[in-house]
Structure 1
Amino acid sequence: MFRTLNVEILKLKRSPIIWFSMLGVAIAPVLNYVIFLSLKTNKPSAISMERYFEQCYVFFTVLISTMIFGLIAAYIFNREYQEGTLGNMLTIPTGRAELIINKMIILFGWIIFLVLFNFCLSIFLNYMGLFIQFDKEIIIKYLKIYLLTGVLHFILMPVTVFITLVFKSYIPSVGFSIFVTITSLILTNTKYGELFPWSLIYLLARYQEEFNYSRLYSITLMILTFITSLTACIVYFNRADVEG
């Protein structure tokens, strides 16, 4: 298992998509920084640390993260088909289920890294002209929110992975990520957002008001989505033609 993980890490170290993904998630804090620079000039009383983190988090979670993480998932699971190396990967030796699990571990680590990178970049940009006085409690609060958001994104990633395995292409996976991003954006402010797993990422991590439905129901929906889609990935990959 660790040998396969090492192979995956070595391949990623030589891949430019790591820098592309960092650039993608950096859009949220940079955009937020520009907005707050304008506020500092025109309406300084509107600036607060809580609002600074809240707005950056909304940009990241609602607009950007699902598409970036979906692209990463498609890349990790599709590159073996594109490069014709899947057969070689299975001769390490390793089982197909183990290969899926190893790639999911890489995906989880990558998501958490990008979430922390986004959070730390937000803090760094504050010292590039905003100089909002930071509060330790707010930093810890949003660090927890960001980490929970990363975990919730990972829980939904097997759906994108399954689409990638079936179509063996980036295009359907990226298209699906765009679709769920737009749908989530529409449903988040309605009660139906509590029934849509991708809207639940924001609602469970940040939303403080009472749900129309039980939170336990929403959490169960997320867990069932993870278990069902991950099982589908393993079953399909075990039966799929290696040469695809």
Structure 2
Amino acid sequence: MLNLISCELSKLKRSKMVLISILGVMSIPCMMLVESIQTHFKHPELVFTLADIYHDSLLYIMLLTNMMIYVAITAYLFSREYTENTLKTMLPIPISRIKLMLGKFCTLFLWITMLTLVTWIGILILSGLYYAVFGMESYNLRVAIGWLLKFLLGSILMFLTVSPFAYIAQKTRGFVTPVIASAVIVMGSAALSNQDLGALYPWTATFFLIEGKLKSTGYSIPLAIGIIAFVSIIGFWLTFNHFQKEDLK
């Protein structure tokens, strides 16, 4: 398995997707810095903390920007054998197809985790610049580490909910359809982010869980987790099942 993951990672060295994805997630720390500066000049009486900045970034990370980027890299990983015409080279390898898919999903998880860390570090550094110039309450590493744990848990939940897009990428043998589907999902997440029904929408339920507002919706935590798990399992099953039936053409 480690060899498969290493192989997938080595293929990424020749791709610009890693750099593009890093630049994409860094847009969130930049937006947080701009919002902080605007707030400082418009409402200098307001006092906010590092925790406030991390909290405000959750919406962009889990529902908007990072979600679309994670779907894009999922589509890229699971469609590249079709778009680059390397499937005929891949299938004859004497390794089970299940292991090949596991290697891709493990690589996807590592990639998502890396981008989550980049987002967290970016917010910490740019907030540090704001702190150095304007000052900020409770700017310390203890607060940042507490939010790191939440970010990592959120990345796990997001990894689970992008599994259906891996199947879409394989089924359509391309990059475009999953990205368009993700845009629809993100629009739905944005619309339900302030609605109680968002607890029943898996891509918004993850946000509610991390933000800690699920109980206020009136729906139980086990129900939301069950919906997320159901969508995830269906996505994994469809992906593995489709690749098992894939044939050389």
Q: TM-score range by the shorter chain?
A: over 0.9
Alignment of 1:21-170 (within 5 A): 21-46=21-46, 47-131=48-132, 132=136, 133-170=138-175
Find the aligned partners of 2:85 and 2:17 in 1 and give their Cα distance: 19
Cross-structure match for 1:200 = 205
TM-score after normalising by structure 1: 0.94
Question: Are 1:219 and 2:225 an aligned pair?
Answer: yes
Identity %: 26
For the 8 Å contact 2:208–2:214, the answer to whether it is kept is no
- 231-240 vs 104-113, greater mean Cα deviation: 231-240
For the 8 Å contact 1:28–1:60, the answer to whether it is kept is yes
Deviations, residues 85-144 of structure 1 (Å, cap 9, x unaligned):
122123332221111111000000000100010000001112323332414442232111
Deviations, residues 58-109 of structure 1 (Å, cap 9, x unaligned):
2222221111000000000111111111221233322211111110000000
Cross-structure match for 2:245 = 239
- Report the CA distance between 1:40 and its aligned residue: 2.3
Find the aligned partners of 2:131 and 2:207 in 1 and give their Cα distance: 26
Deviations, residues 147-200 of structure 1 (Å, cap 9, x unaligned):
111000111121000111110111110011111101011112112111110001
Find the aligned partners of 1:193 and 1:199 in 2 and give their Cα distance: 5
- 90-99 vs 105-114, greater mean Cα deviation: 90-99
Distance 1:66 1:242, change over 3 A: farther
- Report the CA distance between 1:43 and its aligned residue: 2.3
Equivalent residue of 1:44, what SS?
coil
Find the aligned partners of 1:150 and 1:32 in 2 and give their Cα distance: 19
Deviations, residues 16-41 of structure 1 (Å, cap 9, x unaligned):
00010011111111011011112223
- 1-10 vs 98-107, greater mean Cα deviation: 1-10
One-letter amino acid of the structure 2 residue matched with residue 113 of structure 1: M
- Report the CA distance between 1:146 and its aligned residue: 0.5
For the 8 Å contact 2:50–2:127, the answer to whether it is kept is no
Find the aligned partners of 2:222 and 2:61 in 1 and give their Cα distance: 25
Distance 1:72 1:39, change over 3 A: same
Distance 1:25 1:242, change over 3 A: farther
For the 8 Å contact 1:4–1:92, the answer to whether it is kept is no
One-letter amino acid of the structure 2 residue matched with residue 186 of structure 1: A
Find the aligned partners of 1:5 and 1:136 in 2 and give their Cα distance: 32
Structure 2 stretches of 5 or more lacking a match? none
Cross-structure match for 2:236 = 230
The alignment covers a number of residue pairs equal to: 243
For the 8 Å contact 1:78–1:169, the answer to whether it is kept is yes
Find the aligned partners of 2:145 and 2:129 in 1 and give their Cα distance: 21
One-letter amino acid of the structure 2 residue matched with residue 27 of structure 1: S
Alignment of 1:1-20 (within 5 A): 1-20=1-20
